[in-house]
Amino acid sequence: MAEHIGARVRVWRRRRKMTQAVLAGLAGISQAHLSNIERGERAVESRSRLVALARALDVSVADLLGQSSDPTDPVRVRASEAVAGIRVALVALDAGEIEPPTRGPKEMVAAVEHAMRLRQRSDYLTLAPLLPGLLNDAAAYPGTDALTRIAYEASVCLRNLGYRDLSWPAAKIAVAASRELGDPAWMGAADFVYTLCLPLEAATSARRIGERSLVDLQRAAADPRARQMLGQVHLSAALASAVARRPLDVQAHLSEAEREAATLGDPDGTGFNLSYFGPRNIAIWKMSILTELGQYGQALELAENLHVEDVPVANRRQSYHLTRGRALAHDGRADKLALISLAQAERAAPASFRLNPLTRDIVATMITRAKRRAVAEDLVAMAERLGIAPV
């Protein structure tokens, strides 16, 4: 299988009998830029560009991202084995087939908290095998927040293990369960995770869902938990607006999130549902949004003033380092510094790093560029962990 997204773009372009000039015009980029992408000398640096290429080729974003199927990679094997059971559990819940619970009420509460702690560490490979039984048991306790929370954990876990198609039905279960629960904060949390797992092509839908959720959250503004989720939904709407190339909406949502954070401050601990909503988290999200918009210099300036070592949620630390690595690597002039940031992102959350196709594309691009000179040993080692042939 092709190691980088550009090679898949080239395969599909040839299948569609398109010239580079035609595809570049349809995707809104120069032919030289497309040529660099196809040769693997430049990564597909934004979600919006990925969507534009997929639409121009009449394929899905998933077709361009691909999925590594290396049967010798223990991370991918463990993820695949665990996800098979989650898939069955989701189908059973959708069909209303709920077995008697294996956990009593107190055990269920403890199990939900344990699942959240695993997510806090981004330990998805430990969490995934627990989810089939947890989903069934949570459904057996109506009137509690168990199903909302476990379906939320399942959606996040599946998305980070590379199974975005399954994270969506899990999020739908969380949304439905939160509506039955009637707690605005959990309703906001479920809407938030739902928007994050929609296909990238559905950025406009994600933005609209987020904006509808904001109305409900604003009615519950007396609840600090709901205000944290109000801020989080503004952030997800800002990112979706960036993917949809709506800069005015990006700024409007960021401004609202910053207004909430200014009064709430950074959380004491992890925040509601590990949201870690506050000024530092907004800065981390803003880095991602600036990178999505191609404003790499501004993203790096923001990164210089951020310190994330003490952030208690692993995926927030990973997001910072991964975004910084993307911004450094975008033109090939700072690949050595980019490699350091990518290594820090990998340490923060190893499994999701290795299973992220956009991460693989960045590293594959760096390998291709480095072939003109000696390839750093650390880059070779990272490429091998990602299943990328370095030579």
User: DSSP code of 71?
Assistant: T
pLDDT at 3: 65
Looking up tokens 């549902």 gives 273
Compute the residue count for the chain: 391
User: DSSP code of 188?
Assistant: H
* Res. 2: pLDDT tops 60: no
**Looking only at Cα atoms, what is the longest distance across the chain?**
63
- Binned at pLDDT 50, 70 and 90, residue 211 comes out as confident
Asked if 232 and 277 touch (Cβ cutoff 8 Å), the reply is: yes
**Amino acid found at 64:** L
And the tokens for 367?
């390998």
Q: What are the pLDDT digits (tens) for 221-261? A: 889 999 999 999 999 999 999 998 899 999 999 999 999 99
Average pLDDT over residues 356-366: 89
Q: What are the pLDDT digits (tens) for 305-355? A: 899 999 999 999 999 999 999 999 988 889 999 999 999 999 999 999 988
pLDDT at 1: 40
- Binned at pLDDT 50, 70 and 90, residue 372 comes out as low
Average pLDDT over residues 123-150: 96
* Res. 84: pLDDT tops 70: yes
pLDDT at 71: 54
Q: What are the pLDDT digits (tens) for 5-23? A: 998 999 999 999 999 999 9
Q: Is 387 left (phi over 0), alpha (psi -120 to 50) or beta?
A: left
Asked if 227 and 187 touch (Cβ cutoff 8 Å), the reply is: no
Phi, psi angles (nearest 5°) of residue 48: -65, -35
Q: What value does the mean pLDDT of the chain take?
A: 91
- Give the integer Cα–Cα distance in Å for 193 and 334: 33
pLDDT at 346: 96
pLDDT at 294: 93
For residues 117 and 387, the model is more confident at 117
User: DSSP code of 376?
Assistant: P
- Give the integer Cα–Cα distance in Å for 29 and 34: 7
pLDDT at 383: 85
Secondary structure of the chain: what % helix, strand, coil (to 5)? 75, 0, 25
pLDDT at 4: 82
Q: Is 87 left (phi over 0), alpha (psi -120 to 50) or beta?
A: alpha
Nearby residues of 40 by Cβ (< 8 Å), 6 or more positions away: 3, 4, 6, 7, 364, 365, 368
And the tokens for 224?
């600090």
Q: What are the pLDDT digits (tens) for 43-64? A: 888 899 999 999 999 988 888 8
Alpha carbon 242 to its chain's center: 15
Angle between the 335-348 and 357-370 helix axes, to the nearest 10 degrees? Answer: 150
Asked if 244 and 204 touch (Cβ cutoff 8 Å), the reply is: yes
Q: What percent of the chain has pLDDT over 70?
A: 96
Output the CA torsion 49→51→55→60 (10° steps). Answer: 140
- Give the integer Cα–Cα distance in Å for 278 and 267: 6
Q: What are the pLDDT digits (tens) for 250-296? A: 999 999 999 999 999 999 999 999 999 999 999 999 999 999 999 99
Asked if 41 and 74 touch (Cβ cutoff 8 Å), the reply is: no
